[in-house]
Amino acid sequence: MNLTFISRKKYILISLLGIFISLFQLTAQTKKIELKGVIIDEGGITIPYASVSIVSKSRGTSSTEEGEFSLHVSNDELKDTLTISSLGFNSAKIQIEKFLNLKEKKIILKESAIMMDEVQLLSAKTYVINALKLLKDNTLSSPHVLEMLYRRATTEGGTSKFFVENYLKYLDKGPAYGLGRLQVTEARKSADYRVWKSKDWVHWVNYMAQLNPLRPVDSQHRRNLKKFSWKRTGNSSYEGEDVLIVTGQNPKIDWERITFYIGIDTHKIYKIERGRTLYLYKNHKSGKLVLNYFKHEWVLQDERIPKEYRNTIAKRTSYKVEGSVYNVHTEKDKRRIKDYGLDLDMGLLDLPYNAEFWNNLSLPPDTKFYKKIKSEIEGLYGVPLETQFKLVN
């Protein structure tokens, strides 16, 4: 028998075995493990919109209105640490492996002590002015990509009639700058039950930027927040820093009131409330703030409804939007995007429904926002939302 042939055969078998073992190990390392839990205070009350992050990897999510969260990790991340932060509470840290071993997947945050009364405070307006001056220093202002789940529901007569989900990459430079660039990578939508099938000329992520009072109105102009009447309306804290809550009234527009949550030492703006719009920021591994969560509801006024629909249920049209940031990429090779979707209605994007992607995505637990939309759309004709995704897209 040819010994050379046998040696070669053994070599091939050993090589194949090595490849098999390597693939097995790689699969084990990249296999997704779901972290599901709830964030509560010491009294057992759930904490909404808390940041849940693997800070070292700029990856995370936020808790829902009910304090629930969900995040997928791999085996090689079991030794990493989860950091949980929320306004008004001391931050908590726990190793992912230890969290998985908990019998009850609850994380308790302790209310933070606020020492603000012992501090000589500046005027509310001065804090706002200082925060604006330090905006570029305090926020992630170099190019970075936000990977986001972006949802929009269109309602008529108070009932959801059309629902769209996009997973997207948004190339941004933070709130100190104008609009960024967009690549929608995945999309799915429900059946369209609207009477008036309105169409936007831009993706709704544009409004996420335009509604932010910190962003320039256009390439040359910024909202003149200095002319607002500012007053202190409360106290809070974030990650050990006392936070001043200030509310400003636009002297020219009665309905426009803006509330900022500003750190008294750093002048970082951790939270923005503007009517039915909410922005939440969290600390990036660089120490600067980056967007974590966005929510908005826009009720259309009569003049925006075409005349032929003003006597129909479409006269009560509104949009409900929320965006959750999953990943933040600052590395140059991960900042490359292919522009797609910025100048298109997000409900008209020509992308096939990728069931495998959506099934493996670390979707947040069903929020009140999502549960209500799903119930209303499925209740119209009794068709499950998943079936609509498969048939429509």
The percent of residues in the chain predicted with pLDDT above 90, rounded, is 75
82 plus 128 within the same structural domain: no
CATH of the domain at 51: 2.60.40.1120
- Judged against a pLDDT cut of 60, whether residue 232 lies above it is answered with yes
168 plus 232 within the same structural domain: yes
185 plus 329 within the same structural domain: yes
Give residue 119's pLDDT band: very low, low, confident or very high (50, 70, 90).
Answer: low
Mean pLDDT of 81-94: 94
95 plus 141 within the same structural domain: no
212 plus 190 within the same structural domain: yes
- Judged against a pLDDT cut of 70, whether residue 17 lies above it is answered with no
Asked if residue 53 is part of any domain, the answer here is: yes
Give residue 114's pLDDT band: very low, low, confident or very high (50, 70, 90).
Answer: confident
- Judged against a pLDDT cut of 90, whether residue 19 lies above it is answered with no
- Judged against a pLDDT cut of 90, whether residue 10 lies above it is answered with no
Asked if residue 18 is part of any domain, the answer here is: no
- Judged against a pLDDT cut of 50, whether residue 25 lies above it is answered with no
Mean pLDDT of 262-267: 96
- Specify the pLDDT at position 221: 57
- Specify the pLDDT at position 393: 76
**Residue 183 bridge partners (DSSP):** 169, 340
- In the listed set 85, 112, 139, which residue is the last one of a domain according to the structure? 112
Asked if residue 14 is part of any domain, the answer here is: no
140 plus 190 within the same structural domain: yes
CA distance 103 to 117: 40
Average pLDDT, the chain: 89
- In the listed set 88, 112, 136, which residue is the last one of a domain according to the structure? 112
200 plus 70 within the same structural domain: no
- How far the first Cα of the chain sits from its last, in Å, is 61
Counted domains in the chain: 2
**Phi/psi class of residue 243: alpha, beta or left (left: φ > 0; alpha: ψ in -120 to 50)?**
beta
- In the listed set 64, 89, 112, which residue is the last one of a domain according to the structure? 112
Where b means 16+ CB within 10 Å and e means fewer, 125-147 reads: bebbbebbeebbebbbbebbbbb
Name the 3-class secondary structure at 244.
strand
Half-sphere exposure of 1 (CA within 13 A, CB side): 6
Asked if residue 288 is part of any domain, the answer here is: yes
135 plus 199 within the same structural domain: yes
Which residues form the domain of 75? 33-112
pLDDT in tens, 325-359: 999 999 999 999 999 999 999 999 989 999 999 98
Asked if residue 20 is part of any domain, the answer here is: no
247 plus 325 within the same structural domain: yes
- Whole-number CA gyration radius for the chain: 24
